[in-house]
Structures are given as C-alpha cells and as structure tokens.
Structure 1
Amino acid sequence: MTDMSHAHHDHHMEGTMSPPITDPHGDHVTHPDSGGGSHVMMMQMTFFFGYKNVELLFAGLLINTPGEMVGACIGVFLLAMFYEGLKISREILLRRNQVNVRYNSMPIPGSDGTVLMETHKTVGQRMLSLSHLLQTVLHIIQVVVSYFLMLVFMTYNGYLCIAVAAGAGFGYFLFSWKKAVVVDITEHCH
C-alpha cells in the first residue's frame, strides 16, 4: 500500500468509526455507534471517589454533580437503615404471631453427678394465615432491598459504599436493641 492509499484508508475509517471515549475517572470506556448512541465496554472494578458519570441502579439515574452524589448518598444511607429496620421488624412480628408453642425438656448430666433439665422452646406458625402472608411480602421486599444495596456497593464508588455501610451500621444501632437475645445458661463454651 502506498502512503497515499494508506492516508485515504485512514480518512475513510475516521469518517465511519469514532475513536473510543474514556471518561476522566476511567470508570467507563464507550464506543459511539453509527446510530448516535454508545456502547459501554468496561466498568469500574476498583474503588474510586468521584461523582462524574456514576450510574446508580438504573440507566437513567446518572450522577454528575456533587449535589447529586450527596443526594444519592443520603438515599442509599436511608435505604440501608430501612433494610436493618425491616429485618428487626420481621423478627418482632414473627414473635408476636407465634402459635403452637411447645416446650421440650431434656435431661443433661451435671458435673457433680446431678441431673439438669434443659428446656427448648419450639414455635410454629400457620401457613395459611394473614401474618404468614405479611411475612412473605416483607421477605420479598427485604430480598429486593438487599440486592439493591449489593448493586450499589458494586458500583465501587467510595462515597456510595460508605453510605451503605454507615446506613447499615446506624440502622443496626437504632433497631437492634429491640432484638431479643436468647442466652442458654447451660452453655459451657463462651
């Protein structure tokens, strides 16, 4: 190929295919297509702190300003708090709607030759009941919210990851003290 034909070939390629575009933070490389859109080729796979071109859960939800990032962090924080509150609320609701409570006692030999009785509480719930239906709906919501939080964390954006962790921690702090803790006094390994 001569220099002249090589130059013509480069010019032809330049007119039909645009070069790849990399954003300033390096979290996406896009290739414009002939229809005016673009195709995302790579996504960020390391933690970064930035607020430009950060997609959050949905294609149309794009963060580009510091204010949008602050708003997104507040929303993610509240979602993580809600998730923790939902988990504790489901446990409380389950305890309130327990039926078929049975106590089973089992003899356990003591260290001095005496016999101790260990009691276990077994509870059940009716499958065809309003409380079980409510638990099922709340479980679905809990699973969906947990996946949303996981996907937010998988953006690898440091601000959003901190918001998930802080929201979960604050939610646990606010709601977990209501959680009943069962301590087995016969347990010897602490």
Structure 2
Amino acid sequence: MATNVAILASGSGSNFQNIVQSDLDISIKVLIVDNPHAYAIERAKNLDVPYRIVDRKQHTKDSFEKEILTILKEYEVELIVLAGFMKILSPDFISKYEDKIINLHPSLLPSFKGREGIKDAFEYGVKVTGVTVHYVDSGIDTGMIIAQEAVIIEDKDTLETLEEKIHEVEYRLYIEALKMVLEERQ
C-alpha cells in the first residue's frame, strides 16, 4: 500500500514536480506551501495535486506549525518530504514526525549547512561539493544522512552552472533516497 506523503515547499517546486512525476510508491496527499506566491502552487494545479497555503507571514511560529499539523492529520500523512521548504521547523513539530521528515540539501553535509549551501561552497573555493538527502532533526541540516553524491566544481564553473549541476543531481538522488526510505518502512 502506498505511503501517504505531504510535500512542503516555498519556491518554484521543481523538486516537488520531480517527485510527483516519479515512479515512487507513494500517494501525494497534499502540497503545503508557506509562500502564497510560490510557483509550486501552479505546478500542483497542473499536476492535480491538492495544495494548501499556510502563509508564514500571517502566523506566529506556533500557529504556523499548528495549522500545518492540522493539515497533515486531515490528510493522514505518514511521511513529510521537504522540497525547497525554507522554514526551520521547531523541535516540538519534528518530535511529532520523528524519523518521518526528509530534506534535500545542496551540499555535502556537514559542510555548508543552511540556506546558501551552493553559494557558500562556491565562494569558499572548494573543488568538490554535492547533494545530501537526510532526516530532519532538531538541528539545522544535522539529521542522519540517507544519501549523498559529490559534484565536482570545475575551474570554468560559475555559480549558475554549479547550481544547474547540483539541481541535476538533486532530481535523481532525491528519488533514489526516497526509494530507500520507503523500502526501510516496509
């Protein structure tokens, strides 16, 4: 039986669309966005995926998370997949879905944590960065790693070409890592 999944996003939703169009044995019950202008909403409409907007600017952190938890319960969500969700979840929220929240990060953790992983790696001048899929815990990008893949930064790369290379790996690696998580859950 397919696992009931909610995807949380804040922006364009390209990873959301990639997951929806994958062959994963999941039932995507709802997309939750915290930004009413996120392009992910248009993707959800085009893909016939129910979506809910919980505008972070209209809530306190507590009421924001309570509303999301209500939606997750309404849709009987078993697994939460973060796809460019740019809000840090509280330890209390995470404890309600312990080991059931998956995140994608554009660096080889534990290096270059936080919002600007690609830019930080590029500006630091490393020759290798990558992509990490991990469980979410109460730290920032500190949860148990599920999968990683390196991306070489070549001398000719610009920040924009590096971003493209990272996104290309993200689309494939996230699906592979989610398959591993789903197999473990069976």
For the aligned pair, the TM-score class normalised by the smaller chain equals under 0.3
Does 1 or 2 have the higher relative contact order (CA < 8 Å, sep 6+)? Answer: 1
TM-score for both structures, normalised by structure 1: 0.20
Would you tell me which structure has more helix in proportion to its own residues?
A: 1
TM-score for both structures, normalised by structure 2: 0.20
